[in-house]
Amino acid sequence: CSSDLYNQRLEAFLSRLQAMAKEQNEKIETVNRERKYHQQNAGQELNVLSAQWRELCLKNIEIEEACAKINNHLEDLSKEAAERGWNLDVSMENGSLPHVKY
């Protein structure tokens, strides 16, 4: 008789443990679903940010190329001015343009 009571208590204890384990597994599943959802959203955001970063890099390259072209053009103009005998430094200091005779 006492063994039957002991077995009943063990079975009740086992049932409580199984219920607790089931509850914990459900909580774990919920956490895992939320984690997966957040990771997927973060992945999408990373893809968007990565694409924006690439676009900005390309724009920076275009700007650098445009600046190099402008600098080359300015050098060419300075050489041409020197060949014509124009002193651009003096004209720039005076705030006036050189008088050009054609």
User: Per-residue pLDDT tens for 18-40?
Assistant: 999 999 999 999 999 999 999 99
Predicted confidence (pLDDT) per residue in 49-95, tens digit:
999 999 999 999 999 999 999 999 999 999 999 999 888 776 556 66
Q: What is the 3-state secondary structure (H, E, C) of 68-89?
A: HHHHHHHHHHHHHHHHCCCCHH
The reported pTM is: 0.55
CB 93 within 8 A of CB 100: no
pLDDT for res 80: 93
Buried b / exposed e along 66-93 (16+ C-beta atoms within 10 A):
eeeeeeeeeeeeeeeeeeeebeeeeeee
